[in-house]
Amino acid sequence: MYDLNIEFRSGSEKCLYEQIYEYIRREIREGKLRPGERLPSTRSLAEYLQVSRSTASLAYDQLLSEGYIASRPYRGYYVCRMEELYRLDARGDAAGAEEQGGQGPAEEKIPAVVDFSPTATDMSRFPFSVWRKINKNVLSQGGGSLFTQGDVQGEYSLRETIGRYLHSSRGVNCTPQQIIVGAGNDYLLLLLEKILGRHVRIAMENPTYKRAYQIFDSFAYEITTVDMDEAGMSVSGLRQSDVTAAYVMPSHQYPTGALMPIGRRLELLKWANEAPGRYLIEDDYDSEFRYRGKPIPSLQASDTQGRVIYIGTFSKSIAPAIRVSYMVLPMELLERYRRQCFFYSATVSRIDQKILEEFIKEGYFERHLNKMRKHYKEKHDLLLEGLTDFEEDFRITGENAGLHLLLTGRRGQKERELILAAQSLGVRVYGLSDSLVGKAAEQPGHTVLLGYGGLECQDIDKGLALLRQAWL
């Protein structure tokens, strides 16, 4: 058995499992533990180190999930081959936002003390006990039919409930027949590819939501990036681009936070109405969180000709684990869906659909949204207030909605420098260039994103203090 001489530092801030994990990771990276080498079982590791077995398991789980080690059925844990290791590293970097910054050797990377991730959400206020109760009720009352496969578009009653919610909160006009429920936006986009067909020429703003870009790119859609101003996608740019579809986030553009005013919306709709087969894909991903002014109806609400494909998700508004999104199809595309895609089975279990339906119907969803809006606003206000000192050096934008805002250096500070300076003090901020595509991505500017959704108030304060030190 490989001899693991881990010296536990009792004064360390790190708990035992982290120390074990880091020790083994270092041994692997430095080649002392070699590819294919077998690790002790969790039981014998625990005995040897005099720690609990669950501590040893936690360390291995972490190594497993990061791909340093692998387990083989009934044979224990092995060190992964090195190419595999590097591939995993490459993958981590490619994943973009998650791994931004810290290009030095990973061993030396300082773990972030405060992570202003623009994609993190806050689960601490989630009504777990309500969710459990509904879960229990649904399972005990549902009976056997709950376990059958159900409607390919999603349960009718859930679609009705979603339709009602979308109508009242987002002004969306549709019948439940037009709604397709699916396991996440990515799946719905895969389905949309089959509906719209291949070789679609699609326009996207730049910067845009990178994941959607990557997905459209994997479709071999011809993607044209169109410039944007404060109002969103430039319509003259769109007209020049000879596309048949445009992907937009009119209620809260990611990452700029821009809200598309009604004038621009109508121009976009006019473009879509001018030729048959033109569509606008509206990704309404986090429109629930708006802090200033009235809620903004969706673009779909202004669409009288069936030109808007509306997509939204509960992953952001309820919890990331809730893999339920919805797509509202115009009638023309609904027909195509029924002709061309009727054989794609449902991707969300009826049980989960029923739980979600009850959560919405019983008013818990609305209550949760109101609570979270208030809670996020507190963090938002705290961050914005704390940023007053920064205003001389930075322009602050995107502050009216969503879970992040943008800081643009007024004195020519470079994105990369800002990120590294923050990182040196243990603060992680994110570059706008993560969301740029094409040539624009090669010329990063002066803007960083600060997300606050996942941070507690004291962390925001701490992060602000460190950023002041780093940047001002």
Binding residues for a second copy restricted to 308-337, rule: CB under 8 A:
315, 319-323, 335
Structure tokens at 242: 């000879």
Whichever of 174 and 466 has its CB closer to a second copy, that residue is 174
Q: In the bound complex, what is the minimum distance in angstroms from residue 72's beta carbon to a second copy?
A: 6
Closest contact distance (angstroms) between CB of 167 and a second copy is 4
Instruction: Find the binder of a second copy among 11, 73, 293, 363 (CB under 8 A).
Output: 73
Residues in 331-370 that interact with a second copy by CB under 8 A: 335, 338-352
Question: What DSSP state is assigned to residue 80?
Answer: P
Exposed / middle / buried, residue 185 (Cβ in 10 Å: 0-12, 13-18, 19+): buried
5, 65, 388, 443: which one contacts a second copy (CB under 8 A)? 65
Closer of 4 and 190 to a second copy (Cβ): 190
Helix (H) / strand (E) element for 406: namely strand 404-409
With contacts defined by CB under 8 A, how many residues of the chain interact with a second copy? 77
Q: Which residue has the tokens 């009850």?
A: 358
Of positions 10, 50, 124, 443, contacts a second copy by CB under 8 A: 124
Q: Which range, of 16-24, 156-164, 221-229, 377-385, touches a second copy by CB under 8 A?
A: 156-164
Our finding on whether 214 is near a second copy (CB under 8 A) is: yes
Which residues ranging from 257 to 316 are in contact with a second copy (CB under 8 A)? 315
CB closer to a second copy out of 62 and 423: 62
Which is nearest to 97 in space by CA: 458, 454, 381?
454
The residue among 149 and 443 lying less far from a second copy, judged by its C-beta, is 149
Indicate whether 87 belongs to the interface with a second copy (CB under 8 A): yes
The least CB distance from residue 76 to a second copy, in Å, is 12
- State how far the Cα of 200 lies from the Cα of 193, in Å rounded to an integer: 9
Nearer to a second copy, 341 or 384 (CB): 341
Terminal CA-CA length for the chain? 53
Please give the full DSSP string across 173-236, using - where no structure is assigned.
---GGGEEEESSHHHHHHHHHHHH-SS-EEEEESS--HHHHHHHHHTT-EEEEE-EETTEE-HH
DSSP class per residue in 255-315: TT-PPPPHHHHHHHHHHHHTSTT-EEEEE-TTTT-B-SSSPPPPSGGG-SSS-EEEEEEHH
- Least distance (Å) between residue 168 CB and a second copy: 7
Q: With CB under 8 A as the contact rule, which of the stretches 70-78, 254-262, 264-272, 302-310 interacts with a second copy?
A: 70-78
Task: Supply 390's token pair.
Answer: 């920064």
* Residue among 116, 126, 123, 101 at smallest CA distance from 382: 116
Q: Which is nearer to a second copy, 37 or 399 (by Cβ)?
A: 37
Q: Which stretch binds a second copy (CB under 8 A): 3-11, 134-142, 443-451, 461-469?
A: 134-142
Name the residue nearer to a second copy (CB basis): 26 or 164: 164
Is 186 an interacting residue with respect to a second copy (CB under 8 A)? Answer: yes
